[in-house]
Every structure is written in C-alpha cells, then in structure tokens.
Amino acid sequence: MRTRSRLNRGLVIAVATVVVSGVVSGVAPAVPRAEAGTPATLAQAAYTRMSDAQRIGQLFMVGTPATGLSSAAATAIGTYHVGNVILTGRSTAGAAAIRALTARLDRLATGTATSGVPLWVATDQEGGYVQVLQGSGFSRMPTALTMGTWSTTTLTSSARTWGRQLRRSGVDLNLAPVLDTAPASTASKNPPIGYWQREFGHTPSVVTTKGGAFLSGERAVDLAMTAKHFPGLGYVTANTDTTAGVKDSVTTTTSGSIAPFRSAVANGVPVVMMSSAIYTRIDGSRPAVFSPTVVTGLLRTTLGFRGVVMSDDLGNAKAVAAWSAGDRAVRFIDAGGDEVLTVNASTIPAMVAAVRVRAAADPAFRAKVAAAVLRVLTAKAAEGLLGARLSLDGVLSARTISALQHWLGVTVTGALNPTTVRALQTRVGTTADGVWGPASMRALQLYLGIATDGARTWNARTVTQLQAYLTTQM
C-alpha cells in the first residue's frame, strides 16, 4: 500500500540539488545522505532497481480518457514503461467509476512495466469550465474567478473537500491551481485564462492569496498539486493549445505576476507546469518550456524550486508543432524539465526513443535524465507512493484489514471489528449497524465501481478490488 506521510510531504525533493555525474544505466548517481525510509533513500532504492527503460518512462505522463483506459495508454505503460497518467476529457459517471479506473491503472504498474513504482494518476480539476471529473461524489466547482471572491477560510475549507473527493477516487495529482494573473482590462481578450475565468483574480496579490488558499486546502488531504503555467499566461492574446508562436511581451523576471508562483514554491508545491508561450523579455528565441533561461535560470535558480518541472501538453499543442515529437521531449529535459506531459499517447514511442538515443550519445544530457528521474521518484516518495504495496490475492488478511483501517481513520488492529465495519459502512453509504451482510457488500461493490453479484459476505473478487483500490489510497 502507499503509506502516505504528512511529514514526508514537506521533504520534497532533497535530491533535486544534486550534481549528477553518473549515468542513467549502471550505478545510480549519488544522493544526499538521509535516514532510511526518507524520500531520498526510497527514491534511490527505486532508481537502483530500475532498468534504463523504466527510468526514462518515469519522465512521461500519458493521457487516457477519464471514461476508460485507452489501449494506447495501456501500451505506453506496458511497452514503453511510462510511469504516469492523466485522465482527460470529461467524465460524468461519478467517483465509483473513477475508483474502478484508477485501481485498474494501478494494477498496470507491474515489475515489468515500472519496476513496481506506482503511477502518478493526475487530472485537471480546477473548477468552472475545467473540471474533468463530475457526477456523484464530485462537487460541482465554480470558476477560479468566483473562488477568488470567497473568504480565504471558506476557500481553503472547500478546497479541502474537493481534494478529499479526488483522493478518494484514486487521483494522486491535481494539475491545479492556475496561478496566472490576467489583468481586468484585458482578461476577456486572454484566450487561455481570462476568457474562461481560470484566474483567481486580476492582481498578483489576489492570485497569491486565493490561489494559495486553494493549494493549501487540497494539500491538507495529501493531494499532490501543480502550480501552472509558469511564468504566466495572463498577458498573451492567443492560446498555446491552438496557436503557434504565442508571445508575451510584458513579463520580465521581476514582474509582479511571478509572485504567485514564488509563493507556491516557498510553500512547498511539488510540481510546477511550464507555459509553452515565448517570453520576449526573458528569452525571445524559444518557448519557455524549451528555455534553460526560464526553467533552470528563473524557476530553479532565482525562485529556488527543487521539485518536479512538468511541461504543458507536448502532444497536441500547436505552440510546439514545429518540432518533432521526439525533439520536444529532448528539448524540454535539456532545458531542465522532468515530466513530459503528452495527452496524445501516439507520440510516446517517438518521444521515449529520442530521449533514449540522446542519453546514450551525450553524457551531459544523460546526467540531466538521471537527475530528472530522481526528482520524480523523490516526489512520489514524499507523497507516499513508494511504500510497501498490498498483494492482490483476494484474502481479507490482517495486512489488508490494517490498510483498510488506516484508510478509514480508525484504530489499526488488523482485525475486522465492529468499529471498522461501521466506519466502512458509513464510507460506502449504507446503514452503519456493525453487521456486514448483503446490503453492505452491495454498497461496497457500487462504491468500488464493480458489478454487484449478490454476495452475502466477503468474496475474493470484491476483496481483490478493495486491495487494488486501497493501494491507490495509502
């Protein structure tokens, strides 16, 4: 199971400052000395046991529809060792269907595919027009601009609820909040952010405060978060998803619109997503996502970010269409990036191959790949994803019951006592009488998103699905 620790959560990316002199294959690069069981040592252990292909796979996040696992995404994980998934599009099927999907995804993280390292399962749950997961079990969220009018206390509390809904559906990483500042005078003419009211406000101070409240609330329930789109899309007049050569001629390295990102970094956000626009007053020769000046210079050095740098979509975005799929991945990592996001799973073979070939031929790039892999693994360890996992054997053993009790927040005894039964009945939405029977089984199966089978008590099929689901939770 994934033994999440709020203590570890604050230790994000001690290895990110390591100067890596090793190679991707063979002996893993050195990491700072740390006590056994820290994110750094867990990441090092995972790195050491992985093959080159499995290490490179950790640097990719592939899209699959939130309505079900695509064959292309399954192939990306099983054949190309991709270590992360984003649920895309829209699902109105509710939390049970997503729980079934995330449990299925977790089972794909086999020893052969990812060396047993769990996938980061992500989605875009910003609110308003950008809320991928909807239906029973998910609150309908307002736009960020509306959230920005709420009190900080109300927003933090609401975000905690929304984050808990994602965690209980098996999602590990929310690609939110948007920390771009769209000025009031031009917001309606800002296609990627202002037009859709994705900004928390029209000034950096409001975005910092209210975006920070959203971030704080969702982080409080152990959900990993992503601050985006660095260094900001609030001043552009076209959308990088649909237009090439999008430029920002306003933002500088000292602009006030950098402040929300600076605050998020200072408060330990584990992931920052890069913009694909060109910032003419910072680096006018290339998109920020490919710019060492922006990624390594501004974000890592000036702001001191030591976590995972993620790209915006490099699969379908018009802003990067001039480069081949493989070149996009190589340029991003070479600039200092870590996690290549591609919604389009068909780009994975070319991207993975390009990174592998460049790493084999270029020692400096090989070192960047190694450092990036360690940053991703350390972030996963800090979020609890590298702990011991449950065996999917269908047996309601003491270990499975202990995991269940940990998830329910009751005393861990390893025995299925009435307190545990009542807590589970409450969680799955049936009468909490402490007696586990047919009604409880039906409610649990519906909660897990599997077909009901009329079972009167525990059966191996349901326990196996419960074990798979608990693995995504703990």
- Condensed to tens digits (0 to 9), the pLDDT of residues 57-73 reads 999 999 999 999 999 99
175 domain-assigned: yes
468 domain-assigned: yes
Which pLDDT score, from 0 to 100, does residue 387 have? 86
* pLDDT band of 29, cuts 50, 70, 90: very low
Do 85 and 226 lie in one domain? The reply is yes
State the chain's mean pLDDT as an integer: 93
29 domain-assigned: no
Do 378 and 456 lie in one domain? The reply is no
Do 209 and 65 lie in one domain? The reply is yes
Which pLDDT score, from 0 to 100, does residue 134 have? 98
Which pLDDT score, from 0 to 100, does residue 18 have? 36
Do 268 and 311 lie in one domain? The reply is yes
* pLDDT band of 191, cuts 50, 70, 90: very high
Do 411 and 374 lie in one domain? The reply is no
Which pLDDT score, from 0 to 100, does residue 7 have? 34
List of residues 6+ apart from 365 with CB closer than 8 A: 330, 333, 334, 358, 359
Cα distance between residue 436 and residue 429, in whole Å = 13
179 domain-assigned: yes
Which tens digits make up the pLDDT trace of 263-273?
999 999 999 99
278-279 and 271-274 beta bridge pairing: unpaired
Do 213 and 352 lie in one domain? The reply is yes
93 domain-assigned: yes
Structural domain harbouring 330? 6-12+35-382
284-299: burial string, b at 16+ Cβ within 10 Å, e else: eebbbbbbbbbbbbbb
Which of 348, 382, 416 is where one domain is finished? 382
Do 312 and 421 lie in one domain? The reply is no
Do 403 and 257 lie in one domain? The reply is no
| % residues pLDDT > 70 (the chain) | 92
Cα distance between residue 80 and residue 340, in whole Å = 14
Which of 324, 357, 382 is where one domain is finished? 382
Is the pLDDT at 463 greater than 50, yes or no?
yes
Q: Which two tokens stand for residue 467?
A: 């074990």
152 domain-assigned: yes
Do 319 and 447 lie in one domain? The reply is no
Query: Looking at residues 266-293, what average pLDDT do you find?
Result: 98
Do 376 and 403 lie in one domain? The reply is no
Do 323 and 447 lie in one domain? The reply is no
Query: Looking at the 3D structure of the chain, how many domains does it have?
Result: 2
CATH number of the domain where residue 205 is located: 3.20.20.300
Q: Which two tokens stand for residue 134?
A: 């909807």
Which pLDDT score, from 0 to 100, does residue 474 have? 76
Radius of gyration in angstroms for the set of CA atoms belonging to the chain, rounded to a whole number = 22
26 domain-assigned: no
Which of 351, 382, 413 is where one domain is finished? 382
List of residues 6+ apart from 36 with CB closer than 8 A: none
22 domain-assigned: no
Do 179 and 260 lie in one domain? The reply is yes
Which tens digits make up the pLDDT trace of 389-433?
899 999 999 999 999 999 999 999 999 999 999 999 999 999 999
